[in-house]
C-alpha cells in the first residue's frame, strides 16, 4: 500500500516538471527573448555636455600704445602727490626722495649723495619707461625695503600719463618705445568692436523709469558703516610722508593726525597753519574731514598741502575709518 502511494507522488511530481518544461518551451516559441551582446544591464549615464567656454581675458594694452596717446599735462596733475617727496625742476636736488629731473634713462640708484635702500641698488640698469612703469605700479614689489610710502598706481593709463610727464623733465627727452604691429593690433581691434556693436540692431529700449530719489548709499553715514580701516590705512600711506599717525610723535611737515577726529581745526600745538585753514573753524568732524580729503584747496586755497584730493567716496570712507582708530576714545560714526 505504501509503495502505491510513493508511485503516485513520484508520478505527480514528474508530471508537474514536464508541464513546466512544456510551458517554457511554448513561451519561447511565442515570445523570442533578446540576448544582449554583453551580459548585464546598461545603466543610465549623464548626458555629456561641453564645458562652457571661459570668458576670454581682456588683453592688456601694451605700454608703447598707451604712451603714444598719453597726455603729459594730465600726468603732471597725477604726479602732484609726488612733490611731497621729490623735486621736478632742474638743479633743485634731492628732497625726501631723489630729484626726478632727467630720471628717464638715468642709472637706477645713481642720484649723487642720496642714500638708497639696498633693494633699490640691486635693481640695476637704467630707469627705462618699462621699469618706471613697474615701479609706479607697485614700488614695494620691486624694492621690498624701500622707504617710499607711495602705495602704487594701478591704472595703466594714469601711469602712462605720469611717464609722459616724466619725459618732459629733461633737456634731451628719451623717445617713447615705438608700438610694434603686434602690439598695435589689440588697440586697433577695440574701435572695430565698438563699431560693430554700434551697427548691430538695438533691442527695444525699456520704458524710462521715473527719477528715483537719491539712494541712501550716497550719504557719508552709509559709506562709513561698511568702511574698512585696514584698506584706509593702506590708502593713507602716502600721508605718512608729511604726517605722523602714532600718539605723541608730534608734527612733521604737517600736524600729527593722532586724535584728529573731533579736534578743533588748526589747533595742534606749535604748528603754523595757513590763514584759510584757521578760518574754517569748528571741529574736525567726519563730514568736514571728508570734504577736506576730497579737495583741500577748495576749503583752504592757501594751504601748503600739495595732496590733490581723493575723488573716490569709498576710499575716503576707508581713510576716515582708519582715522577713527587713531584715538584712545574713537569718535562714533554718524548714524
What local confidence, expressed as pLDDT, does residue 6 receive?
61
Radius of gyration of the chain (CA): 38
Average pLDDT over residues 191-199: 52
Residue range 133-155: average pLDDT?
Answer: 89
- Tens of pLDDT along 250-284? 998 889 999 999 999 999 998 999 899 999 999 99
Is a pLDDT exceeding 70 seen at residue 32? Answer: no
The DSSP output letter for 283 is B
Q: What is the pLDDT of residue 227?
A: 95
Architecture field, domain 216-325: Orthogonal Bundle (1.10)
Q: At what angle do helices 286-294 and 313-325 cross, to 10 degrees?
A: 130
Whole-angstrom distance, CA of residue 41 vs CA of residue 51: 29
The answer regarding whether domain 63-167 maps to CATH 2.60.120.10 reads: no
Q: Tens digits of per-residue pLDDT, 224-241? A: 999 999 999 988 877 887
C-alpha pair distances (Å), 330 with each of 58, 74, 132, 138, 320? 44, 38, 40, 32, 11
Q: For 288-314, write each residue's pLDDT tens digit.
A: 999 999 988 899 998 878 777 888 899
* pLDDT tens per residue, range 37-95: 555 444 444 444 454 555 555 678 999 999 999 999 999 988 888 887 899 999 999 98
CATH 1.10.760.10 range(s) for the chain read 63-167, 216-325
Amino acid at each position: 500500500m505504501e509503495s502505491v502511494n510513493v508511485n503516485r507522488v513520484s508520478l505527480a511530481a514528474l508530471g508537474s516538471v514536464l508541464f513546466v518544461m512544456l510551458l517554457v518551451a511554448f513561451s519561447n516559441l511565442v515570445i523570442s527573448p533578446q540576448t544582449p551582446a554583453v551580459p548585464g544591464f546598461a545603466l543610465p549615464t549623464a548626458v555629456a555636455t561641453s564645458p562652457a567656454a571661459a570668458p576670454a581675458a581682456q588683453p592688456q594694452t601694451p605700454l608703447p600704445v598707451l604712451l603714444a596717446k598719453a597726455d603729459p599735462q594730465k600726468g603732471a596733475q597725477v604726479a602732484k602727490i609726488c612733490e611731497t617727496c621729490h623735486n621736478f625742476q632742474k638743479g633743485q636736488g634731492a628732497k625726501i626722495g631723489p630729484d626726478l629731473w632727467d630720471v628717464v634713462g638715468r642709472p637706477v640708484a645713481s642720484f649723487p649723495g642720496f642714500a638708497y635702500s639696498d633693494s633699490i641698488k640691486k635693481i640695476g640698469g637704467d630707469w627705462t619707461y618699462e621699469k618706471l612703469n613697474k615701479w609706479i605700479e607697485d614700488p614695494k614689489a620691486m624694492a621690498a625695503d624701500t622707504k617710499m610710502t607711495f602705495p602704487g598706481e594701478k591704472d595703466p593709463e594714469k601711469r602712462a600719463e605720469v611717464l609722459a610727464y616724466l619725459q618732459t623733465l629733461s633737456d634731451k627727452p628719451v623717445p617713447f618705445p615705438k608700438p610694434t604691429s603686434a602690439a598695435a593690433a589689440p588697440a586697433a581691434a577695440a574701435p572695430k568692436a565698438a563699431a560693430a556693436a554700434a551697427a548691430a540692431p538695438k533691442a527695444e529700449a525699456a520704458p524710462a523709469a521715473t527719477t528715483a530719489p537719491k539712494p541712501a548709499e550716497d550719504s557719508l553715514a552709509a559709506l562709513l558703516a561698511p568702511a574698512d580701516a585696514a584698506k584706509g590705512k593702506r590708502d593713507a600711506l602716502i600721508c605718512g610722508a608729511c604726517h605722523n599717525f602714532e600718539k605723541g610723535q608730534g608734527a612733521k611737515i604737517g600736524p600729527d593726525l593722532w586724535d584728529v577726529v573731533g579736534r578743533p581745526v588748526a589747533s595742534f600745538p606749535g604748528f603754523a597753519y595757513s590763514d584759510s585753514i584757521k578760518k574754517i573753524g569748528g571741529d574736525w568732524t567726519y563730514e568736514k574731514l571728508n570734504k577736506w580729503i576730497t579737495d583741500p584747496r577748495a576749503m583752504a586755497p592757501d594751504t601748503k598741502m600739495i595732496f590733490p584730493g581723493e575723488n573716490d567716496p569709498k576710499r575716503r570712507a576707508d581713510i576716515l575709518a582708519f582715522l577713527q582708530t587713531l584715538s584712545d576714545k574713537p569718535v562714533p560714526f554718524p548714524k
